[in-house]
Amino acid sequence: MSDSRKPRALDGVRVLDLSRVLAGPWASQLLGDLGAEVIKIERPGAGDDTRGWGPPFLRDEAGAPTDAAYFLSANRNKKSVAIDISAPEGADLVRRIARTSHIVLENFKVGGLKKYGLDYASLAKVNPALVYCSITGFGQTGPDAPRAGYDYMIQAMGGLMSITGQPDGAPGAEPMKVGVAVADLFSGMYASTAILAALRHAERTGEGQHVDVALFDCQIAMLANQASNYLVSGKAPGRLGNAHPNIAPYQVFPTADGHVVIAVGNDTQFAAFAKAIGAPQLAEDDRYRTNRARVAARENLIAAIAPLMRKKETREWLSIMEAAGVPAGPIN
Catalytic-labelled residue, pool 67, 119, 184, 212: 184
For residue range 160-189, list pLDDT tens digits in order. 999 999 999 999 999 999 999 999 999 999
CATH number of the domain located at residue range(s) 250-329 in this protein: 3.30.1540.10
- Residue 101's closest CA among 118, 89, 115? 118
Q: Where are the domains of the chain?
A: 14-221, 250-329
DSSP state of 7: P
Contact 18, 106 (CB under 8 A): yes
Q: Is the pTM of this model over 0.85?
A: yes
Taking Cα atoms as reference points, which of 17, 136, 12, 134 lies closest to residue 75?
Answer: 17
Q: In what order do the strands lie in the sheet with 259-263?
A: 250-254, 259-263, 328-329
Residue 16, CB-side half-sphere exposure with 13 Å CA sphere: 23
Element of type H or E holding 214: strand 209-214
pLDDT band at 309 (very low <50, low <70, confident <90, very high): very high
Average pLDDT over residues 294-317: 97
The CATH superfamily holding the domain 14-221 is Crotonobetainyl-coa:carnitine coa-transferase; domain 1 (3.40.50.10540)
To the query of whether residue 60 is one of the catalytic residues in this protein, the response is: no
pLDDT tier for residue 5 given thresholds of 50, 70 and 90: confident
CB atoms within 10 A of CB 125: 11
Residue 2 clears pLDDT 80, i.e. is over it: no
Q: Is 144 helix (H, G, I), strand (E, B) or coil?
A: coil
- CA gap 166, 13 in Å, rounded: 46
Compute the 3-state secondary structure of the chain and give helix, strand, coil in percent, each to the nearest 5. Answer: 40, 15, 45
Alpha-carbon distance 133 to 125, whole Å? 16
